[in-house]
Chain A
């Protein structure tokens, strides 16, 4: 009897503790603040009643909750913002996003385009490495890399939103699982060009929807669409050069296992939109391995090797020249069209970066079709100044692309 009574007392105590915790002002609960009837919609009556309570000091209401509620009522029509992320998960925001953790440089670039970098409180290591691109976010604490994340660090930061890639070693489902129970919303977006070319713009619009930055997203997309239309119109009826796409890796310099790009990858999309025809068009994987003999037999008109640990450009031609030499060493490509015409190019990795690919399309189009009446450096400058809002270093020689006979500078 005594044990049963003690058990009941303990149960009551636990229930009381749970009830008291749920009424603590700082206890965050999913749902729109001030939605007193919990029907998922905030009415004017509910908002006004809560403001009255706050003004009269009748309830222990946090001003931040009231302000969030007012934002939801005015800008979101009293309803939460819900969307489906790229991992096909339903993601709902009940309050305006004030703090964000980004787990890739592509999502950091999207946040920068939307002008919300001040909200970022944690970043992946790549973001920290590039203060030129991310002057604000590079100063934020690093919470992980592409393959490893410090979950406790993220929880300690208490972000409203974490943006993670939909797939990969650190993917959105893993992140959501690790952060479950901490009232942190997790959204899965690549924010770079994937197999579905238009997906990246859809992702930008969804992210902008969460952040109330739809106008900024529209501006960027309109800018991209304009350049893409100009390139497509120019290259539309022109003969498409056969192009071999590759990148630097541990295999460079060998005669076999050269890495390339197949359909659905970012560089493949860029090449096609720029008016080129990748010789790997029949590849069944995104990153096929080929050998030097096969490349020679396909006799590409041009070779595009993206390389170098750079964002944007090289300051001198030394590194791309060295990388090109490594690529061609021991391959007997001398009779290949691309070699005969000196059209084996080293191009910085940045052409495939999230949203910077607009510049990549123009750059490759210029290499494939030199008569294109668009200056790639100008597009790069517009992207950096108007969307990333960083100063384009005037007066400095920037190597945008390099071949043995040509250095495209701006």
Chain B
């Protein structure tokens, strides 16, 4: 992959040629290392962007843990573009009560709320919290114009705790098209940053080395 990245970049291989003419083996090695690191970082970033475009899934978000007896909002976001027909089955924790939703097509049955999202990508629903306790939201989704379906990551809220929910919602990939999600959210950005820092450090090292040789 790195070889291809080098060939694809107009300056890449030319830069290697110039380095060979200098005759400095260490300089050449360090610059090659830098090139590989930068290419790897850019390549990793580009790959995640392509994958993200293909992802179909549903995310749940809750802004903050509710106060006792308060109403709070849950947002479901579909990663997709209209036309869409997506069925979602949300299960809210015992003790929590459904209040309302922005979704035109919904049905409540006990602690289950079924939504049919037609050309909508975001649905909000309001929940009334109990006097105390902890609850976990779960859900599943099915894409009816595509071939995918999956689970919505669990979200745990603690009544009266305040702040962000204890377990933030994580998108869960389709069961049919697994998605290579980063183990830690924001890993790509972190890896790019680390790569750039290493490159900067190496650049400093190269300048220092070059000066001492002269």
Contact = CB atoms under 8 A, between A and B. Distances in A.
A66 interface: yes
B55 interface: no
Interface stretch (A46-54, A266-274, A277-285, A329-337): A46-54
Contacts, number: 48
A74 B88 CA distance: 18
Interface string B89-115: 100000000000000010101001010
Given A51-B144, A63-B142, A70-B145, A56 B83 contact: no
Contacts of B87: 51-52, 54-55, 66
B33 to A, nearest CB: 40
Contacts of B89: 55-56
Contacts of B114: 51-52, 55-56
Contacts of A67: 144-145, 147
B173 interface: no
Interface of A: 44, 47-48, 51-52, 54-56, 63, 66-67, 69-71, 73-75
A74 B145 contact: yes
Given A52-B116, A55-B87, A66 B144 contact: yes
B192 interface: no
Nearest to A66: B144
B interface, by DSSP: helix, strand, loop or mixed? strand
B118 interface: yes
Given A48-B118, A52-B114, A56-B114, 13 more contacts: A44-B105, A47-B116, A51-B85, A51-B87, A52-B87, A52-B116, A54-B87, A55-B114, A55-B142, A56-B107, A67-B147, A70-B85, A74-B145
12 contacts: A44-B105, A47-B116, A51-B105, A51-B114, A52-B114, A54-B142, A55-B88, A56-B112, A56-B114, A63-B149, A66-B87, A69-B144
A interface, by DSSP: helix, strand, loop or mixed? helix
Contacts of A44: 105, 118
Interface string B148-187: 0100000000000000000000000000000000000000
Contacts of B118: 44, 48
A63 B148 CA distance: 11
A342 B14 CA distance: 58
B100 to A, nearest CB: 18
Contacts of A54: 87, 142
Nearest to A67: B144
A51 B140 CA distance: 13
A66 B116 CA distance: 12
Given A55-B87, A55-B89, A56-B89, A70 B144 contact: yes
A70 to B, nearest CB: 4
B64 to A, nearest CB: 28
Nearest to B143: A67
A210 B172 CA distance: 35
B142 to A, nearest CB: 7
A44 B116 CA distance: 10
A84 B40 CA distance: 58
A202 B107 CA distance: 45
A48 B145 contact: no
Contacts of B116: 47-48, 51-52
B28 to A, nearest CB: 40
Interface string B126-151: 00000000000000101011010100
A97 to B, nearest CB: 16
Contacts of B109: 56
Contact of A48 (B83, B88, B105): B105
A52 B107 contact: yes
A70 B86 CA distance: 10
B145 A71 contact: yes
A52 B112 CA distance: 11
Contacts of A66: 87, 142, 144
A333 to B, nearest CB: 61
Nearest to A63: B142
A55 B87 CA distance: 7
A71 B145 CA distance: 6
Nearest to B106: A52
A74 B107 contact: no
Nearest to B88: A55
A73 B89 CA distance: 21
Nearest to A57: B89
Contacts of A47: 85, 116
Which 4 pairs, one residue from A and one from B, show the smallest C-beta to C-beta distance?
A70-B144, A55-B89, A70-B85, A55-B114
Contacts of A52: 87, 107, 114, 116
Interface in B42-83: 83
Contact of B85 (A56, A63, A73): A73
A52 B142 CA distance: 12
Contact of A74 (B85, B105, B142, B149): B85
B112 A74 contact: no
Nearest to A45: B105
A54 B116 CA distance: 11
Looking at B88, B89, B114, B144, which has the most chain A CB atoms within 10 Å of its CB?
B144
A355 B140 CA distance: 47
Contacts of A69: 144
A224 B145 CA distance: 33
A67 to B, nearest CB: 5
A161 B104 CA distance: 36
A54 to B, nearest CB: 7
Contact of B83 (A51, A55, A74): A74
B14 to A, nearest CB: 30
A43 B20 CA distance: 71
